[in-house]
Amino acid sequence: MIFITRKEHFSAAHKLVMEDWSEEKNEEVFGKCANPNWHGHNYTVYVTVKGEPDAETGFLENLRLISELINKHVVEKMDHKNINLDVDFMKDIMPTTENITIAIWNQLKPHIDSINCELHCVKLQETENNYAEYFGQ
């Protein structure tokens, strides 16, 4: 069993706001992240897959293919977008690092399942000091 990881990037705007909360409560819980006019980040996503390397090619799976799947199903939908407004698979989901990480996992799972390896981990880095990891359960 070998694990391989591919890193990709996207830059996006978002805000953390509960519509039915007062501005004060939103500020208390979400702090600066509740700014009504949005803010944004450079996000780095690490996708780890696992399985047996092919005896002939020595590839678990071609990383070009992993990269294409991440780009098609995640980066193209999120890069230079507003996560709250523009991203179909984030509809009605509070865009915390935790929730975006889980949503990226759900977005990639069926596509990774259809190739020669298993999705192991999605790690999402939001700032230099913060990241989330999800292993699917």
User: Which positions are annotated as active-site residues?
Assistant: 33, 80, 126
Number of residues binding to a second copy, judged by CB under 8 A? 63
Q: Is 89 in the site for a second copy (CB under 8 A)?
A: no
Amino acid at 81: K
- Closest CA relative to residue 7, chosen from 61, 44, 60: 44
Nearest distance in Å: CB 70, a second copy: 11
Q: Is 72 in the site for a second copy (CB under 8 A)?
A: no
∠ CA(79), CA(112), CA(56), 5° rounding?
120
Interface residues toward a second copy, by CB under 8 A? 1-9, 11-14, 16, 18, 29-33, 35, 37-42, 48, 53, 56-60, 62-64, 67, 79-82, 85-86, 93-99, 101-102, 127-135, 137
